Amino acid sequence: MKLSAAEESLMELIWENGQVFMKDLLDQYPEPKPAKTTVATLLKRLQEKEFVGYTLYGNSRQYYPLVKKEDYFSKHLGKLIKNYFGNSALKFASFFTQSQKLTYEELEALKKMVDEEMKKSKK
């Protein structure tokens, strides 16, 4: 399921914290901070989409992610590759490495990752 930009921003804060109260979320937002009611509405939507759960402590709720950040972005990256690169990870990788103007050091690190994955796939 796709999240709106506002929902993704809030999820980033929740992923960073692991478990977090509303007050702490509000404190972590950059200026201009959203209204408490806006964050409450976003949290409700995230609960309905089953991205966030909470534990009740008296009148306070401590929120936690139900979906891992890696799982969410992996799924959407897969859709991007399918829709824009003909389902070819190679075409995506080619586009990414050329369009991002990676430094020599970044390309070396990427090459090392590819080499390690190639070793794993041989096994």
Q: What is the C-alpha separation between 9 and 108, in angstroms, rounded? A: 31
Q: What is the C-alpha separation between 80 and 2, in angstroms, rounded? A: 12
| Sign of the Cα pseudo-torsion (90, 78, 72, 97, in order) | positive
Taking only the tens of pLDDT, the chain with its 123 residues reads 789 999 999 999 999 999 999 999 999 998 999 999 999 999 999 999 999 999 999 999 999 999 999 999 888 888 888 888 888 888 888 888 888 888 899 989 989 998 998 888 886
CATH T-level assignment (fold) for domain 5-65: Arc Repressor Mutant, subunit A (1.10.10)
Q: Cα-flanking dihedrals φ and ψ of residue 23, to 5°?
A: -55, -45
Q: What is the C-alpha separation between 26 and 89, in angstroms, rounded? A: 38
Distances (CA, A) of 91 to 82, 88, 94, 109: 10, 5, 5, 19
**pLDDT on residue 37:** 96
Cβ count within 10 A of residue 19: 13
Domain ranges of the chain: 5-65, 69-122
pTM for the predicted model, two decimal places: 0.73
